[in-house]
Amino acid sequence: MKAALPLTLVGTIALSLAALLLPGCAALVVGAAAGVGTVAYVNGELDTVVEASLDDTWEATQAAIEDLEFTVTESSKDALAAEQVSRTAEDKKIQIHLNRETDSTTRIRIRVDVFGNEDLSRTILEEIKDHL
């Protein structure tokens, strides 16, 4: 009787095939595997995990939005997540979602308007990081 392939080997092979066959999704595969510090821009949304608590990231986000002079239209936070929606002077909608990953890491997701804007999303992220 032949031994079955170990589950981790099967998973590795599947991820490798996905990366080769679906090049548009490669950033998502790499981003999901890498964790803290990796920035992925997929389907109009910038996604990263920073080494900072949810509270610290929330304060940095508020300071960044103030520095960029965006108008806050919605804002909410609890112990596990936070969301801030604002508008630029050009009336572009900015959505920032924060999710507590651990006590010391927070996932940040940024979307500009419906289809996204990678340059503006990265500018916002850098401004947040400057306040951390």
* pLDDT recorded at residue 39: 93
Q: What CA–CA distance (Å, rounded) separates 132 from 130?
A: 6
Give the DSSP H or E segment for 127: helix 118-130
Could you tell me the residue ranges of all domains in the chain? Answer: 1-34, 35-130
Topology adopted by domain 35-130:
TATA-Binding Protein (3.30.310)
- Could you say which DSSP state residue 57 is in? H
Q: Which band of pLDDT confidence, cut at 50, 70 and 90, is reported for residue 18?
A: low
Q: What angle do CA 40, 34, 7 make, to 5 degrees?
A: 120
Whether the predicted model's global pTM rises above the 0.95 cut: no
Is the Cβ–Cβ distance between 108 and 47 less than 8 Å?
Answer: yes
Is the Cβ–Cβ distance between 57 and 124 less than 8 Å?
Answer: no
* pLDDT recorded at residue 27: 44
* pLDDT recorded at residue 36: 78
53-106 tens-digit pLDDT? 999 999 999 999 999 999 999 999 999 999 999 999 999 999 999 999 999 999
Amino acid symbol at 54:
L
